[in-house]
């Protein structure tokens, strides 16, 4: 298995544009997490899914953020419209009960 | 109060030193605990799980104190390659993984 795959690795976009981040979890993992990491706030949990169902989205900053998991092998995190303060590294992770595996992250810069 | 709290550091230690990090958690119902390591501009990776009885993996020892709601990580004989950020992770009973903001360790020659 190639591990958790995220795309794109880097994204630079203009304020107001829509941004879509993608994640392919490890096959067989029941849980999928989206995190955001900044120097100021560290690693923050945005939302997580269990068996494709969103369980807790209390970490999603505001309505501009949305996440979907249409099937067990794919998830998206969308920001519309994007703002400069959304600039961060966004990680997707999938897990078993005992261990979470992270993708390499998407470094988002909103200018 | 934050769900998981860590001293951000940095901890600057010489090679060969012993260094310890603590992490406190707020949810007494938390089920399982981990330490992750994150290198600069990389993704976090599991370092070790933390068991109630404590566990050791080479130079690394992790301990859990449920009564005081903290976990610790001890690194003996520090190496330059140990320089990284160490993230405390708590798995609440809903299987939600909550990360601390990390403690940065810098080992110098």
A102 to chain B: nearest residue by CA?
B43
Q: Give the per-residue pLDDT at B85.
A: 94
Residues of B with CB under 8 A from a CB of A: 32, 34, 42-46, 49, 87, 89, 94-102
Band of pLDDT at residue B61, cut at 50, 70 and 90? very high
Please indicate whether, in this complex, the C-beta atoms of B43 and A42 are within 8 angstroms of each other: no
Q: What is the mean pLDDT of residues B75-84?
A: 97
Q: What is the mean pLDDT of residues A81-101?
A: 91
Instruction: Report the distance separating Cα B107 and Cα B77, nearest Å.
Output: 10
A28 burial level (CB within 10 Å; 0-12, 13-18, 19+): exposed
pLDDT at residue B93, rounded to an integer = 65
Burial pattern A47-77, b for ≥16 Cβ within 10 A else e, equals bbbeeeeebbeebbeeeebebebeebeebeb
- Token pair listed for B35: 């330490």
Say yes or no: A95 contacts chain B, CB-CB below 8 A.
yes
* Residue B87 φ then ψ, to 5°: -110, 130
**Taking 90 as the threshold, does the pLDDT of residue B96 lie above it?**
no
Closest Cβ opposite residue B96 in set A42, A48, A97: A48
- Cβ partners under 8 Å of residue B43, min gap 6: A91, A102, A103, A104, A105
Q: Inform me whether the pLDDT recorded for A90 exceeds 90.
A: yes
pLDDT score of A60 more than 90: yes
- Does the pLDDT value for residue B8 go beyond 70? yes
By the CB < 8 Å criterion, does A38 face chain B?
Answer: no
Q: Is the pLDDT of residue B91 over 90?
A: no
Residues from chain B contacting residue A93 (CB–CB below 8 Å): 97
Dist. CA B75–CA A34, nearest whole Å = 30
The vertex-B61 CA angle with B55 and B64, nearest 5°, equals 60
Please report, to the nearest 10 degrees, the dihedral formed by the alpha carbons of residues A41, A42, A47, A51 taken in order.
-170
User: What is the rounded average pLDDT of the residues B30-53?
Assistant: 90
Q: What is the mean pLDDT of residues A66-70?
A: 97
Categorize the per-residue pLDDT at A2 as very low, low, confident or very high, splitting at 50, 70 and 90. confident
Predicted local distance difference test score (pLDDT) of residue A41: 84
Alpha helix stretches (DSSP H) within A1-111: none
Q: What is the pLDDT of residue B72?
A: 96
- Say yes or no to pLDDT of A1 above 80: no
Alpha-carbon distance of A68 to A70, in angstroms, equals 6
Q: Dmax over Cα atoms in chain B, in whole Å? A: 43
**Minimum-distance CB partner of A102 among B43, B49, B96:** B43
- Minimal Cα–Cα distance from A98 to chain B, Å? 8
Q: Tell me, what's the pLDDT at B94? A: 62
| pLDDT for A98 beyond 80 | no
Per-residue model confidence (pLDDT) at position B20 = 96
Average pLDDT over residues B46-61: 92
Question: What value does the mean pLDDT take over residues B74-99?
Answer: 89
Q: Pick the most confident of A52-56, A82-86, B37-41.
A: A82-86
Mean pLDDT of B34-49: 93
Average pLDDT, chain A: 93
């Amino acid at each position: 298995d190639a591990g958790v795959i995220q795309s794109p690795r880097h994204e630079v976009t203009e304020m107001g544009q829509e941004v879509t981040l993608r994640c392919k979890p490890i096959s067989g993992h029941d849980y999928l997490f989206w995190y955001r990491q900044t120097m100021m706030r560290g690693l923050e949990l945005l939302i997580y899914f269990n068996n494709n169902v969103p369980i807790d989205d209390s970490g999603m900053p505001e309505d501009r953020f949305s996440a979907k998991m249409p099937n067990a092998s794919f998830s998206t995190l969308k920001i519309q419209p994007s703002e400069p303060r959304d600039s961060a590294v966004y990680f997707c992770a999938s897990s078993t009960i005992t261990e979470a595996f992270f993708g390499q992250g998407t470094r988002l810069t909103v200018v | 109060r934050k769900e998981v709290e860590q001293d951000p550091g940095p901890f600057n230690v010489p090679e060969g030193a012993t260094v310890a990090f603590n992490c406190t958690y707020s949810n007494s119902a938390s089920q399982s605990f981990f330490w992750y390591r994150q290198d600069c501009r990389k993704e976090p990776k599991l370092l070790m799980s933390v068991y109630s009885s404590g566990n050791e993996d080479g130079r690394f020892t992790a301990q859990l104190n449920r009564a005081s709601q903290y976990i610790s990580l001890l690194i003996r004989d520090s190496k330059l390659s140990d320089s990284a950020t160490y993230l405390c992770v708590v798995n609440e009973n809903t299987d939600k993984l909550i990360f601390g903001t990390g403690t940065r360790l810098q080992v110098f020659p």
